[in-house]
Amino acid sequence: MVICRQFEADHPGIRIHNVGGLQETKLIRALVAGVPPDLIYMYNPTLVGPLAANRAIVDLNKMFAESGLREENFFPGAISQLRMNNNLYAMPICRDCRAFFWNKSDFRKVGIDPESPPKTWDELAKLAVKLTLRDSSGKITQLGMQPPLDNALLFAAFGGGIYDNNKSLLTLNSKQNIDTLKWLVMLVDSMGGHDGVAAFQAGFGNTESAQNPLATGAIAMQIEGEYVPFYLERYSPSTDYGVGQIPSPKGSTTLNNMAWQDGDVLMLPEGSKHPDAAWEFMRWMQNPVQQKTYAIANRNLPTVLSLIHEPELTNGSPGKSKLGYIMQNIASNRANTRFFPTIPAARLCKDVLNNAVELAELHRKTPEQALNDAQSRVQTELLKYSR
């Protein structure tokens, strides 16, 4: 990998052995056995909380404070997402930010102005019904709105959340979340119900191909990441689509233009044989030169704000132009940056939340019952770490 070879050139005497994509199961086994790698790379931050709670990774607070790095120089959330109990347990290596995407051809097909995407969730719900099309047998042929793939994102967009860090309180079953889940169930029902929507989505092609459902028009609206424009540019360059801000509740000012973020991370495991060299790589990777190289190669956001207008990232192709829009107009919004919380039971919480949403959509539980049960299950797990 170019980045690794450049690090070696900048640091004579240090060699990097890249073992490739490390499976979570193999990582856990290595940590339990006391033979961890010197440095851990994970594709999302979900494991940071559980590993930190089990003392499997090193608190980076002191290293970060002495490094010369400053949190305000990073994209909002890039550092704060990786903290738990005020301790920093990982460093970002790239960032993802969600945006609102819509197929303009689908809008035109039903007589909707393709340059006027919904600004509120109420507007979106109405458009979703109009944009959902069926054949003579009643089967869905075009889905108005793809239900968000990250349910926590939707809760945050409506003003709720999963965890209150200030109070150290799990909030899965808050009234705001229950109302949001009721809205989601209504939306799914209006488009054909859980089973009908799920059956239609099961036929979607690979997103990294010409069969991308936004490209084919199979879905008219979705919330996705900054990588989508690059998929469309490569596999379906003629797709006529727009990118904009995620809708917000009607009448809201504080919830406008939410920047929902996550991204790949680096962690220093307890027992690393070369912790100083590992930290140096983590620190070195935050330099704008390395960040630009990595962001270009992976088609993601960099971690540092100094690259927000970097021409090599934002100019020269439709994908780069869309990336520039997302960086400059959404991802940099400090006023409303949100992310999945780093807590000891983060992985369990995601799984339990997804199950609760599915049960509500299937009408096997009311939204209140589903989220009350989810709250109880996750809270029971969190209590194990408070003793």
Residue 22 confidence (pLDDT): 64
Residue 26's pLDDT is 87
- The reported pLDDT for the residue numbered 386 is 83
The residues facing 97 across adjacent strands are: 261
Fold of 2-95+264-338: D-Maltodextrin-Binding Protein; domain 2 (3.40.190)
Strand partners, 92: 265
Tokens 């330099």 belong to which residue? 287
**Tens digits of per-residue pLDDT, 195-253?**
999 999 999 999 999 999 999 999 999 999 999 999 999 999 999 999 999 999 999 98
Per-residue pLDDT, 154 = 98
pLDDT of residue 23: 78
CATH number of 97-145+191-259: 3.40.190.10
Residue spans in the chain of domains classed CATH 3.40.190.10: 2-95+264-338, 97-145+191-259
Predicted pLDDT at 25: 86
**Which segments of the chain have a pLDDT < 50?**
none
Residues whose CB falls within 8 Å of the CB of residue 354, separated by 6 or more in sequence, listed in order: 151
Reported pTM: 0.96
Amino acid at 202: A
Cα distance between residue 98 and residue 361, in whole Å? 23
pLDDT given at position 19: 81
The Cα–Cα gap between 54 and 135 comes to: 53
CA distance 314 to 324: 4
